[in-house]
Amino acid sequence: MLTAVEVLDEAHRLENELQSDKLMESDALLTTEDENCDAETEVCTRLSQTRRRIWGMWYELSNKHIAKELVDAKRRGLDVKICLGKSMLYAAADALQELVGADVEVRVAEVGRGLHVNVALLDEVVMLNMSAFEKNIEDIVFFAL
């Protein structure tokens, strides 16, 4: 089962591989500063450029374009694992059918408090904060480990 601990442990492991004098590269999409910023397109582009793995945890995943990129990644042979919050599965029903049909590993966070996190590991890049592009302010940060 893909858990937050596994995602964070892998991010920490990759970070520790960095040489102590090398700075971590980062990039940010700040929709609060640029109203023309298309966060959804940028996230889809990053997903399509990923070559080894996509491990993600999302509160909900109903975006058809994101789901398509995850399915395409699986078909390209990538290790695709996602964990979703149980309370929002109804919103992601169509996307879930596509993901499961493509043999994407899908887990549901059922134990304890609700899952309210948006994080993904794309190869050696950590992506923080991604959600409903149509109505939310989307400030997304990418950290290259």
CATH of the domain at 49: 3.30.870.10
CA angle 34, 134, 130 (to 5 degrees): 75
User: What's the DSSP call for residue 59?
Assistant: S
At 52, is the pLDDT very low, low, confident or very high (cuts 50, 70, 90)? very high
**Report for 3-7, 56-60, 132-136: range of highest mean pLDDT:** 56-60
Give the mean pLDDT of 92-109. 89
| Nearest to 59, CA basis, from 36, 87, 33, 38 | 87
Number of structural domains found in the chain: 1
Say if CB 57 and CB 2 are below 8 A apart: yes
Say if CB 87 and CB 58 are below 8 A apart: no
The residue range of the domain holding 85 is 4-15+24-144
38 against 54, higher pLDDT: 54
- 51: which residues sit within 8 A by CB, 6+ positions away? 78, 123
**For position 21, what pLDDT does the model report?**
43
For residue 25, pLDDT beyond 70: no
Q: Which residue has the tokens 């995850």?
A: 70
Say if CB 134 and CB 64 are below 8 A apart: no
User: Can you say how many angstroms the Cα of residue 39 is from the centroid of all Cα atoms in its chain?
Assistant: 13
At 136, is the pLDDT very low, low, confident or very high (cuts 50, 70, 90)? low
111 against 69, higher pLDDT: 69
